[in-house]
Amino acid sequence: MSEFKTVKSSKVTISVLMLPSHSNFSGKIHGGYILSLLDQIAFACASKFSGHYCVTASVDTVDFLNPIEVGELVTLKACVNYVGKSSMIVGIRVEAENIQTGQVKHCNSSYFTMVAKDYDGKNTNVPGLILSSQQDIKRFINCIKQISLKKERNLHEIIYDYKSEKALEELKKYNVKLEQNQ
């Protein structure tokens, strides 16, 4: 008999105050620092849901929407949106709050594919996912579409002839100069 868990049971939220040490040369919070926080919460979310150690298999989307300022309180909210046999897609929303004005802005949306591992480091099964709301269903279906697009893109990479005249001709519409010995 398979075990099933709700999306709600996977939810993890963390909040971190942004310090000057987290900033880049332009005085905004460094994207790499946010990526590190994203990876941490994806791990926590996937591990909590699966009950296993999890690793990051891929970062499918990271959209930086608004800059984050020093002194803002950043809150990351994560939940499992999709499960396969041993993999999970974790959706993450990042918001930054100006703690003086209370203004909140959406700064980032991300999707991490995480894989559950057993004690020997082999892939292990994860619980099934109970979809309890229209939002849960929407997110699950969007993940199915995302997986399908990824498979299509990978297939295209395998079969596309980059050396063909057609491919080289298509390059002319871009801001590139072709200097190769043919």
DSSP output for 112-138: EEEEEE-TTS-B----EEE--SHHHHH
Beta strands 87-97; 73-83: pairing state: antiparallel
Beta strands 104-117; 87-97: pairing state: antiparallel
pTM score over 0.75: yes
Percent of the chain past pLDDT 90, that is, above it, reads 79
- Residues of the chain short of pLDDT 50, as ranges, are 1
CATH superfamily of 4-130: Hotdog Thioesterase (3.10.129.10)
First to last CA, the chain: 60
pLDDT digits (tens, 9 = 90+) for 7-46: 999 999 999 999 999 999 999 999 999 999 999 999 999 9
pLDDT value for 167: 82
Mean residue pLDDT across the chain: 93
Q: In sequence order, which residues have a C-beta less than 8 Å from that of residue 88 and are 6 or more positions away?
A: 46, 49, 50, 54, 80, 82, 113, 114, 115, 116, 126
pLDDT value for 1: 43
Contact 25, 32 (CB under 8 A): no
The neighbouring-strand residues paired with 83 are 88
pLDDT value for 177: 81
